[in-house]
Amino acid sequence: MPIKLRNLYQFFIQEGIKTDLRKKQQIKQALKENEAVYNNLNRSQKKFFDKDCLVNPYADTRILNGGDNHQIKTILVGIDVEVGELLLSQALSQSGKKVDLVLGHHPKGIAWAALDDVMHLQTDLMANLGIKADIAKHLMKKRITEVSRKLHGSNHMQSVDAAKLLGIPFMCCHTPADNHVAHYLQKLVGMKKPKRLQDLVDLLLQEPEYQYAATYRVGPRIFAGQPNDNAGRVFVDMTGGASGSKDLFPRMSQVGIGTVLGMHVSENNLVKMKREFLNVVIAGHMASDSLGLNLLFDKLQKKFDVEILECSGFRRFKR
């Protein structure tokens, strides 16, 4: 059977929590802190508060347009959904392939404006690695503030405005999907225990998303280190909104991390990681995002009769 839009949104949140690398108490504490912020606001301030934050720990996952009871049968899914993808969905519907929902992975609208809120997740992950919680919080606070300032001037509503004018249901699902790929790969690395960096790359290349990416020359690559270098303790860094603080890299070395496995890395961060003698393996951005979404959609399609259409960098592979 199809699924209602609100139920789909709730499904993504629930599954995101199940695969969150944080401890359940850490997630509950994050929601409690949001509640405390809301309760301390006066009446005029409360009308501007995003109340979804009281039940959804992922500020980058939201329904952007559409009614709660809208029935979803066919979903057009893209990593990045812009106006072009929304017009594509309209063209498909007009040609006989009715699209009930456009789903973007990367956030838009209010979810894009609040991306920095999700980054507190990284503070907990660093603490769970063995870095002192107060140090992790202090170092991440600076980076979160930087991201918040950068996001403030963006044209957040461009795609959302187009969806409203076209009458197209639209949502985004970011961290719940990223949680899935981080959880999946961290578990895989823990089971297979790759000894060398090349072993880690070869392990990734057993996954269809990375095989597909490799055929287009954007497959897994070693960015810092040599193929025969010892991988050591591998940290999968694939969730938490945006890239974290470069000041945490020395701390990661100190707690025994040998290799960081990520989706992508900036040049500034890569230079800093090399200085700290961290190996860096980059799995690939679109492939990793596709893997996270695919793991989520495997669960969805086992429970609901929905069809997934690919666009904008997303490729559907079932497991």
* Three-point CA angle 13, 192, 264, nearest 5°: 55
What's residue 91's pLDDT? 98
What's residue 1's pLDDT? 83
What is residue 229's DSSP assignment?
Answer: S
Q: Please say whether the beta carbons of 256 and 281 come within 8 A.
A: no
Q: Which of 177, 198, 1 is nearest to 78 (CA)?
A: 177
Strand partners, 235: 260
Beta carbons within 8 Å of 207's beta carbon, 6+ residues apart? 291
Sketch out the chain's domains with CATH numbers.
3-174+288-311 (no CATH), 181-284 (3.40.1390.30)
What's residue 126's pLDDT? 97
Token pair in block for residue 16: 């995101």
Tell me the pTM: 0.97
Phi–psi pair at 68, nearest 5 degrees: -55, -35
Q: Which of 8, 96, 17, 6 is nearest to 305 (CA)?
A: 8
Single-letter residue type at 295: L
CA end-to-end distance (rounded Å), the chain: 21
**DSSP labels, the chain:** --EEHHHHHHHHHHHHHHT-SS-HHHHHHHHHHHHHHHHTS-HHHHTTS-GGGGT-S-TT-EEEES-TT-EESEEEEESS--HHHHHHHHHHHHTT----EEEESS--HHHHHTHHHHTHHHHHHHHHHTS-HHHHHHHHHHHHHHHHHHHHTS-TTHHHHHHHHHT--EEE--HHHHHHHHHHHHHHHHHH---BHHHHHHHHTTSHHHHHHHHTT-S-EEEES-TTSB--EEEEE--SSS---GGGHHHHHHTTEEEEEES---HHHHHHHHHTT-EEEE--HHHHHHHHHHHHHHHHHHHS--EEEEETT------
What's residue 89's pLDDT? 98
pLDDT in tens, the chain (319 residues): 899 999 999 999 999 999 999 999 999 999 999 999 999 999 999 999 999 999 999 999 999 999 999 999 999 999 999 999 999 999 999 999 999 999 999 999 999 999 999 999 999 999 999 999 999 999 999 999 999 999 999 999 999 999 999 999 999 999 999 999 999 999 999 999 999 999 999 999 999 999 999 999 999 999 999 999 999 999 999 999 999 999 999 999 999 999 999 999 999 999 999 999 999 999 999 999 999 999 999 999 999 999 999 999 999 999 9
